[in-house]
Amino acid sequence: MDTRLSLITMLKQLRDDMLVIQQQGAGYYSCTPFARRYNKLLAQGRALFTAGDGLIGTFENVDEADPKDPADKMKVVQGIRVEISQLLALLESTGARA
């Protein structure tokens, strides 16, 4: 099994799931499951790189707090979506090395 390709697929699915829930939820959703899942996938992504690979070091775990205000929730979800997109770009661009 190619872990890198599996991670890419899982990150894309997480991004899609977030969009669906965000569109349907009208603020009545939790950010915590998305943050937890992203953090777990990021940990797997880190394992694909050596300590000397600087770009993976630019990623940080996402806070798993769940704000109550819908506007704050949207900010958290947008932040996770940006991180997912950047991690996808890194994983897709390093196919031969990772």
| Per-residue model confidence as pLDDT tens digits over 42-79 | 999 999 998 777 899 999 999 998 999 888 988 999 99
Average pLDDT over residues 30-36: 93
Share of the chain above pLDDT 90, in %: 65
pLDDT at 26: 62
Residue 25 scores a pLDDT above 80? no
Amino acid making up residue 63: D
Domain boundaries, the chain: 3-93
- Alpha-carbon distance of 75 to 42, in angstroms, equals 20
Residue 35's nearest CA partner among 9, 61, 7, 67 is 61
Q: What is the dihedral of CA 83, 89, 94, 95, to 10 degrees?
A: 110
Residues 6+ apart with CB under 8 A from 12: 88
CA distances from 94 to 4, 9, 69, 87, 88 (A): 9, 15, 38, 11, 10
pLDDT at 33: 93
Residue 27's nearest CA partner among 67, 69, 70 is 70
Residue 16 scores a pLDDT above 90? yes
pTM higher than 0.85 for the full model? Answer: yes
